[in-house]
Every structure is written in structure tokens, then in C-alpha cells.
A and B are shown apart, each in its own frame.
Chain A
């Protein structure tokens, strides 16, 4: 990272000690070069959701009001599913995989004996998880297009939003993973991601939550869904800055905590 960019100056001190996190990404790419199937496994889940909506669900529900216009239900839900798949991809990679490397495989011990530091490990792993989530998002987009559900070209604008979702969830995912003590603790992962998936204005608009809407807004995924939906429908609003801000803040906190924890766990 160049030392005079704004991003550099606002980054927390621990992250500024990073030098070459890209080497960690490179290492992972070499590992997956040999087992590419693992990468596309996550592709099927959103595909099945899409199909279920396409085949029947959508027809039952009819149209939805969004930003002052009435849109097809499938068009309403598809961006939310895309946001969720970005979340899932990032969470898969930043939990179990990182836990294994942290507690069992000593991969990080070797990295830390080299010029790489804890911040490189955290940034590199999170970047990797984010990229993996992004692969899911792209495959999702391809499915949408194949099913004729892609809508306008605006849908491409939702890809950067998916990257941001991946970054936020990978950061928080890795940070939480450093606190896990055994594999059993991972039962908590779906216990968190499933309600997020269901109650982030994914399947119905925020207005339908009535007085509970503020709870929905606490969900990080809600902000991701709102961004992706707005982008893919070509609806911009000032609120988008809030969504971006929330996700960036989560990413920064997650990254810093993850780096600190790698330090305390491995540099004893």
C-alpha cells in the first residue's frame, strides 16, 4: 500500500505495519490452483435459490414497491441473494479455513518467521476470503444472466458492492474465528448468518418490518443488500454513503482485531 494515500493515513496503526499481504494471497492461489473445485462449490447454493424463485415463488408474490416504483418480485430478491452469496463466500473462507491454519497447520507460524507480520497475515487472508466471495458473486451474476433475470446493465454496478460486503464479512469472520476454541464453536456461524440472510430486507422491503425496522438496520447484511439492490436497479441515494460507511467501519474493526489476535496467539 502506498504510504501517502488517504486510505493509508486513516488506517489503524497495526494495519499500517503491513508490507506485503499480497504474498499471502499468492500462497492461497497456489494452493487452490491444485484444487479449483473447492472454489466453485459455493456456486450452487445461490443457483438453487434463484431457481426456486424463478420457478414458482415469484409468481405467487407478484410485484413489490421499491423506491417509488413497482418491480417484479424476482427482480427485487435477486440482488439480495447476490449480496448474501458474497457474504457466504467470505464467511466460509474466513472461518473454518482460517481456524485450521491458526490452530493446527502452523501456516502462519512460517509466515511470521519471514518478513511478513501479523497485519500481512490478517490483510492477506481477508483479501483472499473477499476474493473468494467475489468469485461467488460473479458466478451468481452469470446465473442471473443465463436465467434472463439480470435486468439492466446496472447489475454490473453491484459488483463493487459485493466486494465491499465480502471485505466486511471476511474481516469480522476472521476476527471472530481467532476467538474460537474448538470446531464445535463453528455451530454459531450459521446461527448468525441464517438470521442475517432471512431478516436483512432480503425477501421483503424494509417498510414491511414496521416498528422493527431499526433492528433490521442493525444487520450488516442489510446495508449490503441495500447497496446491491440500489446499484443493480440503478437507484442512487444519499443513504448509500451510510451503507458504505457501515461496511467499511466493520471491515476496519475486523481487520484490526484479527491482526492483533494473530499477534497474541502466535507471537508468544
Chain B
């Protein structure tokens, strides 16, 4: 088998324990080189714990993990040499300027100094921080720090880019600039692995994703597949006013295929949203507002990790 055909990531019964607590409970994941792969899941699902094991900064408790066909326990340094990492919590160097943050980080990879300077300038440009290149990290806003962390992760021109909630705190413009860059990296054959709480982001960026809940994988597939499998074609959103959504639950039973009651609205899953709305009106219900839309990954997410009435 050609070395390049090795999966970028191969995890079998991968488990992470913190003391007695099992944060990751035996997951199986395989990511092909060049694929863009997403981890979705509610807070505490174990996404970051998994990402940290993949990044070679957190020892595996049990199960096996191979990155580029190598074991992180024995070849951590080689693996990390080929990875770009954007951790969930920024760990920029507060004692260095923006430019030096990138240069010094590049030097950790043994990249020649002149090359580091060149790359650092290009990347600062990309994240639109060139004007602040001699400033200090603490003078940056939260979103700017995030951008700098992303730029730093690209210093070594990684084969695989690991991004843990990369766009949290980014303004819409910065998000689109990043998405564009990620598309281009993907075209160049870079493997992308990301976690996100933005479903539109996952839909846009991921070829394939897994939904994690409480340390387990509860679903896997392409965004389209997951929507077809776990949701209906359309969704009817009804708002009955604060606090009264739950009490309408009973009278809505049977409308559409499935109901999801959230704090602020009720979601009715139906293949035909308009006729579901008609049914609501025939039952004499008067929602404050209603909206029919196409089903999205968010609905899959809510179904898999939330409280659902049908089951």
C-alpha cells in the first residue's frame, strides 16, 4: 500500500478518560487524505478531547489511533510536524508581537528564518492583521486573536489542518475569508478536520461528519445524507410566545412526522410544511408566527442530541 493512501486518521475504539470520567467512549473514525471532516455535538460531547488526541497533545487512554499511519504515542513529533492546529482556546504567545508569534512558531518547525518571515507576512495579510504586526497579542480583540491563531496554524503548510471551533468569535466577513481559504486548501489536497457549533458551516465545509453525544458517535454521513436520514424535507417553525410553547405540545401531536419543542419555538417536521401549517390552523391553534423552511443540519443535530417527541 502506498504511504499516501494511508488514512489521514484511523481511530478504533478510541477512548479518553480523565480520572474515572470517560470523555470519549470508544469511537471509530476514519478520515481519508484530502477529505474535509467535521465533528459536531453539544457542549461536553468530547469533540475537543478527540481533537487533542489527534493533534498528539493528549495521550490515548485505550483503543488505537493512527495519524498518517503513525502512532502518536511513539511518533508524536513527526505527526505534529505535518499538522496545523487551531485549538479551541487560543494559546498565543503573550510576550511576543503578532509577527514574532508567527515567526517563532514557524521556527519550532525548523523552517528557515527568512522563509518564516515571508510566510508570516503573507499570513498576517490573509487574516487582515498586517497593520498590527508589531503590536502585542493582548491588544487584540477576541476575534483578532482567533484569526492570528488560524494564521499560526498554517505556518508549516500542514498536510492536515485541525480546527477546533475556528470561527467562534469571528465576524461574518472574517468567517467567509476563512471559508474561502479552507476551500482553497482543500483544493490543494489538505485534509481538513474541524469542529463547529455552526451548522451552516458544517454543511458548507464538510464532505462528511459525525455527530457526537456524551462521548459516542451517534450518526455519521455527508450533510445531505444525514438530513435525508434524520429529518424531513421541510420544517415548520411555530412560535406561541414565551413559555407557552410547551403547553401547545399536546394539541400539536400528529401534525407532521415529528415534533421538537424548544424553549422559544416548536419545530414540526413534515415533508410538506404548508399543509402541516394548514393542519395547525384547522385545529384552531393561533401561533404568533410561523415559518416554513427547508430542513438543515441543525434539525439533524437537534433530533440526535436533543429531546424529541417521536421516540
Contact = CB atoms under 8 A, between A and B. Distances in A.
Interface of A: 17, 19-20, 23, 26-27, 30-31, 105-107, 109-117, 266-268
Contacts of B107: 23, 26-27
Given A30-B100, A105-B94, A107-B93, A267 B58 contact: yes
Most buried by A among B78, B80, B81, B152: B80
Given A115-B81, A268-B18, A110 B110 contact: no
10 contacts: A23-B107, A23-B110, A27-B107, A31-B95, A105-B93, A106-B92, A110-B105, A115-B77, A116-B108, A267-B58
B104 interface: yes
Given A106-B92, A107-B93, 9 more contacts: A20-B110, A23-B110, A27-B107, A109-B57, A110-B91, A110-B93, A111-B108, A115-B80, A115-B81
A30 B108 CA distance: 13
B104 A27 contact: yes
B76 interface: yes
Contacts of A107: 91, 93-95
B100 A114 contact: no
Interface in B69-94: 76-78, 80-81, 85, 87, 89, 91-94
B274 to A, nearest CB: 51
3 closest A-B pairs by beta carbon, nearest first, are A114-B108, A106-B91, A109-B91
Interface of B: 18, 55, 57-59, 76-78, 80-81, 85, 87, 89, 91-96, 100, 104-105, 107-110, 152, 156
Contact of A30 (B18, B76, B91, B104): B104
A137 B309 CA distance: 75
Dominant secondary structure of chain A at its interface with chain B = helix
Most buried by B among A27, A105, A113: A113
Contacts of B89: 106
A113 B80 contact: yes
A114 B59 CA distance: 15
Nearest to B92: A110
Contacts of A267: 57-59
B239 to A, nearest CB: 43
